Structure 1
Amino acid sequence: MADLVPDILSDVLDVLQPRDCVAAGLDAGGNWSIRYGPHAGMKCIGIVKGSCWLVLDGQRTPVRLGEGDCVMLPHGKAFVLSASGARIGDAAETVHSAPAHGDTALLGSGGDFYMIGARFLLSGLASELLMASLADVIVIPGGDKDNSASGETVRWALTRIATELRHRRPGCASFIEHLSHVLLIELMRCHLDGDNEEQIGWTAAISDPFLRPAFVAMHRDLSSPWTVATLAKRAGLSRTAFAVRFARLVGRSPMSYLTLWRMLWAAKRLDRDGATVAEASAEVGYSSESAFTAAFRRTLGKTPRRLAARRVISTSGQR
């Protein structure tokens, strides 16, 4: 799977466009507790020293996190981190009184617990449609529990970010941002490689040995006139078995997912890469601009020309 997953993950990250990273540390001591309010985008947390409990709003069972463990929070729900499993705590805004990239907050006397947190904003359209299938809390076990290459890189990234946060050498802000992106990618890789039968959506398709070849084919050649039958052949399944398996694991039909991915890719090309509507339409397999526009509006709720116009206005404003 290692030769296939990174390509699709790169595609997904390209349309999600993680950006505006803010990474900071927390050094806590004693019986501490912090409440973090709802957040935009994706948060990643890595435990460098000690342990804590995470309680997500609406979730009854606390999550225990130990040294080396990481967690991804893709849906922006409020949560509490604490030493003892508390459900209330000091407001994060007061603990991180001046939240800034590269800072470390001190709570209590410090020394018992140290964590790293990074927040990324994501592309709105892609985030709503691609992240919806992910769990509210994704725990990536660390320390000696993960001896994979990704696990080693996660530990290395956490150690390097912690070092930069503590010593603040010249260029640390840029270095921490780049390391945080590495951490995000490796955590996503660990999640994809994990044995999680509850996965649904594109991550489930990547992890499934039958769906994976068809999924890779769709992503690698968006302009091909794919049908359920031709994709089923790639999967080595009958047409019916493939369609049923795809719908069960991905949460939508093969053709529905293919249209969604084509439109998200076209939106990225229009909004960020400067493609024309005609170019984007052809790249994702539409010979008719009107058919492409109808599919785009039906899937994403806006017209492709609106995205292209927004990009032109944004570019003009920068001159």
Structure 2
Amino acid sequence: MDPLSDVLALLKPKSYVSVGLDAGRDWAIDFPPPQGIKFNAVLSGSCWLEVDGTAEPVWLEEGDCFLLTQSRAFRMMSDRSLPPIPAHDVYAHVKDGVATCNGGGAFFLVGSRFGFSGPGADLLVGILPPVVHISQHSDQASVLRFAIDQMARELRGRHPGGFLMTEHLAHIMLMQILRLYLSAPDTEGTGWLFALADRQIGMAIGAMHAEPARRWTLQQLAAMTGMSRSSFAERFRQKVGTAPMDYLTRWRMMLAGERLAKSREPIGTIALSLGYESESAFSTAFKRVMARSPRQYGRDAAG
């Protein structure tokens, strides 16, 4: 798989489909901090989005989507001067999967929340801004629009298999939003996710993900990208925020953590399969990255 698929597979995102919101004119709702990543799509109408700790509100129009990547309270409103009502008062009365505010008819929203059961959720969440806004006018947004419309039909229609369908649609939308966000010309950031847009550094990350047990050297990775050792090391650190060998070690420990949590493999076997000649060397690296010994990590996961 490619590095983005690798990480999402490791994090095991699970979507929890939220109810739709059908709002009438002149409305404002105050939402509590979400758990995990919150995804929403505007099917009709428009509104303002304000998120605690961000400088500017975001104007949302029909077809727009957004991710809330951090646990921060937020508000959505047709008019920023209106006093917001608590979301609980609106969502306490849900009918056919839709909450109604002020009679509905002017604005409709669907969404999901993504939780992560795998180790190292900060691999994704920690490098994204608090709000990722994708406009309906973005390139390649047609795939996203199809998924949004289909999710709305599933929520409203109660079709057989609708729950599983909406869960898979939510995963498609999460992946597509990340793709669109990374391809935007004004997107800047530091981290493995942003580095994938760089052809040479992305090639090196892909190679490390494809063969994590290989005894990679800085020279080998630099030669693969057609760069000198010093140029490659400097550019990798600028793009990813860490040195190439440190990134490789962290990725190996993420893979090890998954196996420690989900299998009964001996620690020595896991160590050898990830390129470590001794269990002690592996354990030292694991504790440095994961802040726990492999045995303690496995016990905590089992508990």
TM-score bracket for the superposition, by shorter chain length: over 0.9
TM-score where L is the length of structure 2: 0.92
Contact 2:29 2:76 in 1 (8 A): yes
More moved, 85-94 vs 106-115:
85-94
Change over 3 Å in CA distance of 1:59–1:146 after alignment to 2: closer
Equivalent AA in structure 1 for residue 218 of structure 2: V
* 1:62-88 Cα deviation digits (max 9, x unpaired): 111111111111112111111123585
* Alignment of 1:70 onto 2:65: yes
The corresponding residue for 2:138 is: 146
| Of 265, 276, 290, the match for 2:280 | 290
Q: 1:129 to 1:176 in 2, by over 3 A?
A: closer
Letter of the 1:179 counterpart: L
Establish whether residue 112 from structure 1 lines up as the match of residue 102 from structure 2: no
Q: Which moved more, 1:75-84 or 1:270-279?
A: 270-279
Name the aligned partner's letter for residue 247 of structure 1: R
Pick which of 268-277 and 45-54 moved more.
268-277
Kept in 1, the 8 Å contact 2:42–2:62? The answer is yes
Match in the other structure for 2:252:
262
Q: By how many angstroms is 1:60 displaced?
A: 2.3
Q: Equivalent residue for 2:182?
A: 192
CA shift for structure 1 position 160: 0.7
1:132 CA drift (Å): 1.0
1:91 shift after superposition: 1.4
- The percentage of aligned residue pairs carrying the same residue is 37
Alignment correspondent of 2:32: 37
TM-score normalised by the chain length of structure 1: 0.88
How far does residue 279 in structure 1 lie from its aligned partner after superposition? 2.9
Matched, 1:27 2:22: yes
**Does residue 121 of the first structure (1) align with residue 111 of the second (2)?**
no
- Separation (CA, whole Å) in 1 of partners of 2:110 and 2:146: 13
The answer to whether the 8 Å contact 1:27/1:107 transfers is: yes
1:170 paired with 2:168, answer: no
Query: In structure 1, how many angstroms separate the alpha carbons of the residues matched to 2:256 and 2:82?
Result: 43
The correspondence for 1:56, drawn from 24, 47, 51, is 51
Q: Do the aligned partners of 1:134 and 1:200 also contact (CA within 8 Å) in 2?
A: no
The aligned amino acid for 2:31 is Y
- Deviations 1:208-233 (CA, angstroms, capped at 9, x unpaired): 12211111111111011112222112
Give secondary structure in 2 for the equivalent of 1:199. coil
- Determine the C-alpha separation between the residues in 1 that align with 2:81 and 2:258: 42
Distance 1:202 1:129 in 2: 8
Equivalents in 2 of 1:86, 1:230: separation in Å? 59
Shift of residue 99, structure 1, vs aligned partner = 7.5
**Structure 1 residue runs without a partner (length 5+):** 1-5, 315-319
Q: 1:200 to 1:223 in 2, by over 3 A?
A: same
Distance 1:272 1:186 in 2: 29
**Contact 1:36–1:78 (CA<8 Å) still a contact in 2?**
yes
Moved more, 302-311 or 246-255: 302-311
Q: Are 1:225 and 2:219 matched, yes or no?
A: no
Separation of aligned partners in 1, 2:237 and 2:24: 48
Aligned-residue Cα RMSD (Å) equals: 2.1
1:182 Cα deviation after fit: 1.7
Could you tell me which of 161, 165, 185 is aligned with 2:151?
161
Distance in structure 2 (CA, Å) of the matches to 1:137 and 1:243:
31
Shift of 1:240: 1.5
Quote how far apart the aligned CAs of 1:259 are. Answer: 1.1
Q: Which residue of 2 aligns with 1:3?
A: none
CA distance in 1, matches of 2:112, 2:15: 10
Distance 1:22 1:247 in 2: 38
Please state how far the C-alpha of 1:124 moved relative to its aligned partner: 6.6
Identify if the C-alpha distance between structure 1 residues 275 and 64 changes in structure 2 by more than 3 Å, giving closer, same or farther. Answer: farther
Counterpart Cα distance in 2 of 1:167 and 1:204: 38
Tell me the distance in 1 between the aligned counterparts of 2:33 and 2:245: 34
What is aligned with 1:317?
A: none
Aligned equivalents of 2:2, 2:200: Cα separation in 1: 17
Distance 1:218 1:86, change over 3 A: farther
Q: Deviations over 1:230-253 (max 9, x none)?
A: 211222222111111111121111
Q: Is the 8 A contact 1:45 1:72 kept in 2?
A: yes
